[in-house]
Structure 1
Amino acid sequence: MRTWTVCLLWVWAAQSVDAMALLKERTVGEEARGTQKDREILKRSKRGWMWKQFFLQEEYTGTDYQYIGKLHSDMDRGDGTVMYVLTGEGAGTIFVIDANSGDLHATRSLDREEKPYYSLRAQAVNKKNGIPLEPETEFIVKLHDINDNEPKFEKEVYMASVPERSHIGTSVIQVTAQDADDEMFGMSAKLVYSISQGHPYFMVEANTGIIRTALGPSDMDREQREHYQVVIEAKDMAGQRGGLTGSTTVNITLTDVNDNPPQFSQSIYQFSIPEMTEAGAVVGRVQAVDADIGRNAEMLFTLTSGDGLDMFDITTDRNTQEGILTVKKPLDYEKKKSYTLQIQVRNTHPDPRYVSLDAKDSATIRVDVKDVDEPPRFERPSYILEVKEDAAVGTAIGSVSATDPDARRSPVKYTIDRHTDVDRIFNIHAGNGSIYLRNPLDRENLAWHNISVIAAEFNNPQQTSRVPVYIRVLDVNDNAPTLAYFYETFVCENAKANQKIQTITAVDADEPSGGQRYFFSLALESSVRANFSVRDNGDNTASIFTRRTGFRRSQKSMHLVSVVISDGDFPMQSSTSTLTIRVCTCNRDGTMELCNAEALSGSAGLSTGALVAILLCVLILLLIVVLFAALKRQKTKEPLIISKEDVRDNVVSYNDEGGGEEDTQAFDIGALRHPEVMEESNKLRRDILPSEPLYAPPPLRRATNAPSRDNTDVRDFINQRVQENDGSPTAPPYDSLATYAYEGNGSVAESLSSLGSASSEAAQDYNYLSDWGPRFRKLADMYGGEDSDWDC
């Protein structure tokens, strides 16, 4: 068996010693294993030395390749037939081997912190045929560390806090640094901590990096100084010269403890407040100073003594830590003008380690009450008065009283708020407050009256106050009892004597204090005393009984029974009510079979009055429907005249009642819809044309004093209009009167009015209208008028 022989040149003595020891160990091991194999094959051969580990210094700065060691095989006889081959991590790039000599070199500088060792494999082969001369051997190249990394802290800035008043040596925080160098080789990673800034308040343990307080409780006062900045350094090589250093900053804050009691900012506080201020109103605020903060500065204010403990109260504002003085009860200037109070303040969470639990501060508060003009005050918050309902007008019911609380004692004037006494039943004396009746009372109408009385200062009417007055109207027996219901009962024709046919009861609007008690009896003047009787049951009810056997509906179908009802109060009131009893035919069981119409309607549940009311409702509904239809029809009609310009000759009067149901051609009212239909003169009328033109004008006669002139223009105009009306099928009826406002051009008659005459007494000749007389009389006969009604 062939073995490797390795020759290593090493410059350091310590490393050479390690190498020799390792070489010796491996040689002994190989010899033992070789001996065992030799024994197995009964042949013994000697093995050469073989290295498993090489050492290389990191951060090499030379220009040449760095020599690592030499690999040599026993098979190499020095004749150049052996070639060395290197494989593994970095082979050929980082590490190279001389194929002939076996010298191993590193091509560049290496960093142990990046990779501490490399695993390589070497083999000797025949240079000519490439056949391995022995098996492949694995070895390690380990980098030797140098101090090339400074210590680094986990954070650049640390935040820490410690309570103020802490003792010396109190732990604050621990800072640690890391060194990337090999801590197993030399002292490159051996760190020592020191403080470079923060003396004399803090110190640091050299080996652990724990920062502790360096001064006593009196020197570590937050109220004096709250924030500190400490710089800690870490140095390798155990702090020796030449070591590398890293640093960090630690910001330390002293936290507050309750070591200061609160104190008032002033010894006396002065406030003023108007009288009559409502309870809960703020009088003022007091302030106290506490050097502590947060929970340690929370305060509690209390009133300890003074003459206003029952009038004032004090609380603490949790936001501002101020004492708020408030009114507990309304103040009265006339009773007390000023108050003096003693207050104290202390912490709500005291710390007995620093301040006594009884630590507190005191101050004085003075409150002045300012006078204001107060409204009158009533003696009572409300009044309850009683009066009988039969009290006479002017009777005094009671009185109210109010006074001015101010020192000047202004007179008071009383009035009743009429919004609370709309019916003006009561009145009040303006000077003394006496309330009396102005109108009669009726308890049955209203049993309670709630009014409001206003009191105003005479000198200052704006200062008013009011008080409720409740007036109870006491009952007087002034109403007679009556039947509770409208009783309408019946008696059978086959009824027996002493048979009960109805039970009645009564009601009374009065309410006596002892309760109602009614008495029933038959009226003395009752004509049916022999037929029916009334029996008082003693429980405010009565029963109606028959007094004979047999009733005949054919003889008398209805009986009226007069019942007298009296009450039991004083003065006694009574009334007479009539009970209607119908006579009906019944079967043997007493069930009604036949009765008159009134009885049947009553038994059916509807009285005569109800039926009448229903009929009236039906008639009213029918009337509403008819009116609605008429209004709707009237709204749908088109206007007679559509435009204002169409009124020149469209005034039409007619009085045609028509010819009854068979007259369907009386007249056409289409002419009233629009004047354009009058132009259709060539159409025939649907009504009967008169044999003689009704509107044909007679020949006009001129006045004796008028100039001679022919009025052909007026005659032509009237004839044209008459023909249009006679020939138009849409014109009004022939017995209608049409009036046209046309005078013609240049009438020789001039003005027909006496106003235009030269003299009002001048005689005028109107004979030119004499031919119109018969035609106007014919119109008068048609319309039923007199001749005088048609005078022109």
Structure 2
Amino acid sequence: MLTSLLSSLSSRTNLKFIRRRASPNGDYIRVSDTGIIQLPKPLDREFSSSYNITVAAQEILEDGRLSDRESHAQVHVIVTDENDNAPELVYPEEPRVCENAAPGKVIIRISATDKDEISPRGFFRYSLATEDSNFSLVENYDNTANITVKYGQFNRELAKIHYLPVIISDNGDPELSSTNTLVISVCKCNEKGNFTFCEERAKQVGVSIQALVAIFICIFTIIVIILLILLRKRHKKDLSGLGRNVAEIHEQLVTYDEEGGGEMDTTSYDVSVLNSVRKNGIKPEPVPSPYAQVQKPPGNPTSGAGEMEMMIEVKKDEADNDRDLLPYDTLHIYGYEGAESIAESLSSLGSGSSDSDIDYDFLNDWGPRFKMLAELYGSEPNEDFVY
């Protein structure tokens, strides 16, 4: 308690203590109304070894109000040290040794540090965690030690890098120790003992829990992205079986309900009825198709039918009676030509006579346009005509 603050005041006076000011780390110190210094949580000497606060004392009047009179005192809190940290090795710069080093050759001198306060009589002890190696440790009794060659030459073919665990202990109460690892490279050297070639080694890097969590999250994110890419490729592969993607299919699907120009109406009859004839195997009675019937003027009965006309008639009858043909596949025979012509029909189908039996004198009556024909087919050719 801060009894020094009460020396100038009457013992019958009620006092209230208030912490006015504190050092940057003074928030770790509290003062009760009765003048008791309290610690809300344990202090760490490695964080701060001392704390400074200013405490004020005020008189409490009979009516409960605080008096205007106030006294101050500076309080300096010193944190004593406890041995709660183990010593640590001060890692040297890449310890190396020649592969042909002699026994007793000093490789490196090591030292240690401790976060705790070391007493004047304090010291560190060094030892090797294993004796089964080509290294030995020699104490210098000044908180340092030497790492030396124990047996002699090293074989680079067997091991180019050696890991040597070193135990360091302090003399605190309680005694604490730690194990540290030295990474020693075996190098090639020249005759003077200078290093000519050494293997590269990775420096030891401590990985915190936060770093491990971040690495795990990154790996998980990469795996998820890879899975999404694979699923997308598989989906595209399924769509490729259709030949086009979904967008192209939606754009290309068009329905036409109208017949094209020049096409026959295929909705006026049932196609299944036509196919049923083939399935039953019964050939219907030959009925001339209305599409194949063509009206033509009657021919000259006195002239007779030629061989060409008879052949065409046979082909026409076969086409009329063949119900396997589509309705629009018809054969039209034109035996009459030139309804508006003076010469009427010039077709040979309507006449079976030869050219020698026909009198072409009537060509002279058709006018000047048929003069050439009249001269060619006339019975008395014009002598003035020049071929």
TM-score scaled to structure 1, two decimals? 0.25
More strand by share: 1
Higher relative contact order (CA 8 A, sep 6+): 2
Which of these two proteins has the greater Rg computed from alpha carbons?
1
